[in-house]
Amino acid sequence: MALASDQCICLRKVEYSETSQILTLFARQHGMLRAIAKGAHRRTKAGASKFDGGIDLLDSGQAVFTADTSRDLATLTEWKLQDGHLELRRDLRGLYLGQYAGELVSMLIEEHDPHPDLFDRLEHTLPELSTPRVEETFLAYELDLLREAGYLPEWSACVSCGGAIGEREAVYFSPARGGAICRNCEGVIHDRIEIDLRLLRLVQGILRLPRTDGAPQRLPRLTRHQTNPINRLLAEHVEHTLGRRLRMAWYILADRASAGSAANPAYARSF
């Protein structure tokens, strides 16, 4: 059986039997793949375990796995943890945004379709989510991911009539149409959501920023009061387009108090 070695980030994990895990891995050169880690939780008499006792969400490591893409499930044969992103455990907001970034990647890209640039961006984004730059860093990654996957909404013109978005009047967004709606069209678009024109301009500005090594430079400092309305529009757009619910979106959109008390035990436990 041919084996492949690649740098991977764990996007999703399901405990499988008492000793094994089924993982969704984002591999730098191989794209997204699903792999079974047999014996991940089994310990030897010396206390050692294969795969360092199991692999967690967002863990980054060097993996060896079976390279037969005709099979639905690869077998993980080696895992060397490189970064467990412990810094993200200090703050629920950064942790949730990191997990949400992983969920979006797992939903938006196809299996076995390599996206090394997105991989590198995610690798650099995760540590930044534990810093005061968390909000703008996440939003910039989210926009890049949507653009790369072909799901970026239209922000600069009305998606219904093609007309310009006004400078002074109200602006709307349609998750189903995937973009901005002008005031003339809003009456016939039933899922329209009114948005603050300044937020629309903010998104347009981020998308136009100069880039170094694929990452936008000089991101403005943002608060969650600015980013969450945009995150909400994008989540509704993705859910509508894919016809699937996003699990983590509603944790990051909750306010601080309820985000803490409503912590999903399944996610909290893994960190």
Of the two residues 161 and 268, which places its CB atom closer to Zn ion in the complex? Answer: 161
Binding site for Zn ion (CB under 5 A): 158, 160-161, 163, 182, 185
Closest contact distance (angstroms) between CB of 172 and Zn ion is: 9
Q: CB-side exposure of 43: number of CA atoms within 13 Å?
A: 5
Closest contact distance (angstroms) between CB of 238 and Zn ion is: 23
What DSSP assignment string belongs to 114-139? --HHHHHHHHHHHHHTTSTTHHHHHH
Tokens of 67: 């390279």
| Torsion angle (degrees, nearest 10) of CA 194, 199, 204, 209 | -170
Residue 139: partners with Cβ closer than 8 Å, 6 or more residues away: 206, 222, 227, 230, 231
Of the two residues 187 and 220, which places its CB atom closer to Zn ion in the complex? Answer: 187
- Collapsing DSSP states into helix, strand and coil, what is residue 31? strand
Q: How far apart are CA 172 and CA 188, in angstroms?
A: 12
Closest contact distance (angstroms) between CB of 101 and Zn ion is: 32
Of the two residues 60 and 160, which places its CB atom closer to Zn ion in the complex? Answer: 160
Closest contact distance (angstroms) between CB of 201 and Zn ion is: 18
Closest contact distance (angstroms) between CB of 184 and Zn ion is: 5
CA max distance for the chain: 72
Closest contact distance (angstroms) between CB of 81 and Zn ion is: 51
Helices 197-207 and 224-242 pack at an angle, to 10 degrees, of 80
Of the two residues 7 and 160, which places its CB atom closer to Zn ion in the complex? Answer: 160
Contact 97, 37 (CB under 8 A): no
Of the two residues 14 and 161, which places its CB atom closer to Zn ion in the complex? Answer: 161
Tell me the backbone φ, ψ of residue 154, rounded to 5 degrees: -85, 125
Tokens of 11: 């996007």
Measured at the alpha carbon of residue 80, what is the angle toward residues 82 and 148, in degrees to the nearest 5? 60
Closest contact distance (angstroms) between CB of 77 and Zn ion is: 55
Of the two residues 85 and 192, which places its CB atom closer to Zn ion in the complex? Answer: 192
Of the two residues 25 and 158, which places its CB atom closer to Zn ion in the complex? Answer: 158
